[in-house]
Amino acid sequence: MRVLVTGGAGFIGSHVVDALRSGGHEVVVLDNLSHGSREVLPPSVPFIEGDILEPDQWVAAVGSVDVVIHLAAQIRVEYAESHPEVDVRTNVEGTVRILQAARALGAREIRFASSAAVYGDNPHVPLAEDATCAPISYYGLDKWTGEHYVRFEESRGGLAAVILRLANVYGPRQRTAGEGGVVAVFAEALARGDRPWIHGDGQQTRDFISVWDVARAFTHRLGSPEASGTYNIGTETATTVNTLWQHLAQIAGVDVKAVRYGPARPGDIRHSRLRTARARQWGFEPRVPLVEGLRLTYEDFVARAHAAP
């Protein structure tokens, strides 16, 4: 199939492009390069530099596609708290624009990157897809609003929708900004020989899933209308930030006490873990063990640190 990936030059997007190409699909990437980099994509991949808010500028260049995978977003939770209007414009209006573009491109399916942040600080973990959504951040609220637009567009017929609510994604090519960025923050600090900070007491828990598994989820049963639905994509395993730090410190060979603690950040969820039974019924399960994924991620940060001028 021919697939348009918005945000395809970013962290998750570039791995999705790799997975699509491995599956024999034809890929077109749209990215405004505000966070992504052309260098993470193979030169042979058709690339269009454009903004999701201005589809009139790029729809004709894309041509027809079978599927749209929509990953382009404003991903920084803290930034959204201080600039909610920007988050709304990118994550809500941008999603509406992509839905309109999907129709214009003749797509039969759209896959939308949502987030565990839609659930808010719900204490009844692990959270299933039918759990109450009560976001505590603008980012979570806008992702949840985007889901409603995706489902509404699907209800009008002709466009199947798969919504993936992602746990905390980590892996190579990640940058130190974004909702799941604690792995990147730790790995970058270790690669540079710095002492990182933990916000709060470090006992907050997250469900960490590798970017390779997330890329597989976005390409799983691609083009199957019966796959339409909302799915949690996680490991169903809770890991404290302190434990995460201990794993990475051991991988890097540094003293686990080489970390500093600071105030908790506004909008941070205390405990987040996803129930993944529906994804398993869909035929998807994560494969990458946390410690192995962290090792590969740390090695990538070390290689980037050595390559930096």
The mean pLDDT of the chain is 94
| Closest CA relative to residue 167, chosen from 220, 235, 239, 110 | 235
Q: Is the pLDDT of residue 70 over 70?
A: yes
Average pLDDT over residues 271-282: 95
For residues 175 and 84, which has the higher predicted lDDT (pLDDT)?
A: 84
Q: Give the pLDDT of residue 267.
A: 66
pLDDT band at 308 (very low <50, low <70, confident <90, very high): low
Q: Is the pLDDT of residue 162 over 80?
A: yes
Q: Is the pLDDT of residue 82 over 80?
A: yes
Q: How far is CA 21 from the centre of its chain?
A: 19
CA 106 – CA 5 distance, rounded (Å): 15
**By percentage, how much of the chain surpasses pLDDT 90?**
87
For residues 286 and 305, which has the higher predicted lDDT (pLDDT)?
A: 286
pLDDT band at 305 (very low <50, low <70, confident <90, very high): confident
Q: Give the pLDDT of residue 78.
A: 83
CA 46 – CA 62 distance, rounded (Å): 9
**By percentage, how much of the chain surpasses pLDDT 70?**
98
Q: Is the pLDDT of residue 178 over 80?
A: no
pLDDT band at 179 (very low <50, low <70, confident <90, very high): very low
Give yes or no for a contact between 113 and 166, defined as CB atoms under 8 angstroms apart. Answer: yes
Q: Give the pLDDT of residue 123.
A: 87
CA 213 – CA 232 distance, rounded (Å): 12
pLDDT band at 170 (very low <50, low <70, confident <90, very high): very high
Q: Which of 79, 119, 138, 139 is catalytic?
A: 139
Q: Is 139 a catalytic residue?
A: yes
Q: Give the pLDDT of residue 309.
A: 64
Q: Is the pLDDT of residue 133 over 90?
A: yes
Q: What is the pLDDT of residues 230-240, one digit of tens each?
A: 999 999 999 99
Average pLDDT over residues 80-107: 97
Give yes or no for a contact between 234 and 276, defined as CB atoms under 8 angstroms apart. Answer: yes
